[in-house]
Amino acid sequence: MTGLHLYNTRLRCKQSFSPLEGDHVRIYSCGPTVYSAQHIGNLRPYLFADLLRRVLRAEGYRVTHVINITDVGHLVGEVETGEDKMEAAARRSGRSAGEIAEQFTRQWREDCRRVGCLDAQVYCKATDHVEQQIALARRLEAKGYTYAIDDGLYFDTSKFGRYAEFARLDLSAQEGGSRIGDVPGKRHPADFALWKLTAPGVRRQQEWDSPWGRGFPGWHLECSAMSIEYLGQNFDIHTGGVDHIPVHHTNEIAQTECAYDVHPWVNWWMHEEFIDFRGDKMSKSTGNIYLLDDLVERGVKPLAYRYFFLQAHYRQQQTFTDEAIEAAAIGYDRLVGQAIEVRGVSGKPDPEKLGEFRERFRAAMRDDLNAPRALAVAWEVARSRDLSAAERWSLLAEFDDVLGLDLAGAVPRTAASESNPRIDARVAEREGARRDGRFGEADRIRDELAAEGIVIEDTQEGVKWRRR
């Protein structure tokens, strides 16, 4: 396999990737619904999207990444009769929906940074784009794809012949209305709200005037409107969780392709699997969740959670247990320890010796982002005694630009300095050799100490050593 191959949910196969526009790749990722704290399961979609971005960058592409913030319209239970999650959170807490959204957006963005995710070029809030959502709904209405009932404006799925195609839906099995809920006046169970009207006698914190009455936009509408606003009517990749396939992404496709007469609207749809939390899907509703801060309190570094993510393919369900996360934390510490041995060592690497490792790492990532295989190559390099220190560091630094584990700056949890006159003297001798430019001598001393199980660490407080 040559070139980058990515799995496309739309076609259910891996394909050779090429952008629509030269070397520019445009990506939209479904973002968080910010009615409560985002748990570590909520971080997996963005670790996946970040890995995708880093691989695309390594392949020489320029990436524009857009992530939305859902701060209105996402209903409890994702049924048309449910309560808006933001309104429900505001009612329970006595705070404004805006305050809640700001708090949990800030927490989510900080957690994403802590696990090594690059910032998106655009973060867009649903409440800042109501005008665009109304315009999209009006466009669909003008084309005859909608109908109005007492509850709001709905998309008529019978008018879109490809509605079941993306998720391979059996629409006949939905006739009881169990998938989306029973709303008086709905023509088909799969029909979905574009605009929900505020119920008589009810006053919401978040509601706007519209051609159909005062209310709020449907959850599916926002992603179509905002992705088009920032990426155009046709773009490269749309990411999200596998749970979005049968409803949210199916509805996005229906309303957008009908509104703009485009097919396919998005060339690549990419979906990551869930984290399985001790046998169950991690869920706020069941309370079986971990926040990133919970891991930190246990002594697990945020980037160790990223290491945990990299141990499984993004399309594999990954099981989270106390034992699994501790094993990942130990593995991350050990990889950092190996990196510290060679970190910053200068020298002229042999291109031929680097080439084999580089190609195997690249081939793994080109094969639909096979992070576990790529991580194994990084470990081979870290442990290799056939490569010089400079060659090991050159490859590890290059690989880490994709892996995102901060091998250039991280320290392991077990980092601690001892004191031994003989070893202290050898470490000082090595530092003197490095200052004088005698790098061969410095490397020889480091290798001798490494053979004794001594790891040298360059820290902000100076050079320290510890036993492996």
Phi, psi of 38 (to 5 degrees): -85, 125
CA 364 to chain centre: 19
pTM higher than 0.75: yes
Q: CA triplet 94, 131, 218: central angle to 5 degrees?
A: 60
User: pLDDT digits over 384-413, tens only?
Assistant: 999 999 999 999 999 999 999 999 999 887
CB 34 within 8 A of CB 258: no
Nearest to 191 by CA among 224, 234, 151: 151
Q: Which CATH number describes the domain made up of 5-272? A: 3.40.50.620
User: pLDDT digits over 97-153, tens only?
Assistant: 899 999 999 999 999 999 999 999 999 999 999 999 999 999 999 999 999 999 999
285 CB contacts (<8 Å, ≥6 apart)?
none
> Residue 68 belongs to what H/E stretch?
strand 62-69
pLDDT per 10-residue tile (average), the chain, 468 residues: 89 97 97 93 97 98 97 75 81 90 95 98 97 98 97 96 95 58 86 93 90 94 98 97 96 98 97 84 64 92 97 96 92 94 87 93 98 98 94 96 96 62 82 82 86 75 70
User: What b/e string do you get for 170-184 counting C-beta neighbours within 10 Å, with b at 16 or more?
Assistant: eeeebeeeebbeebe
CA-to-CA separations, 274 to 44, 112, 282, 316, in angstroms, rounded: 8, 17, 8, 8
Q: Which CATH number describes the domain made up of 322-467? A: 1.20.120
Segments making up each domain of the chain, as ranges: 5-272, 322-467
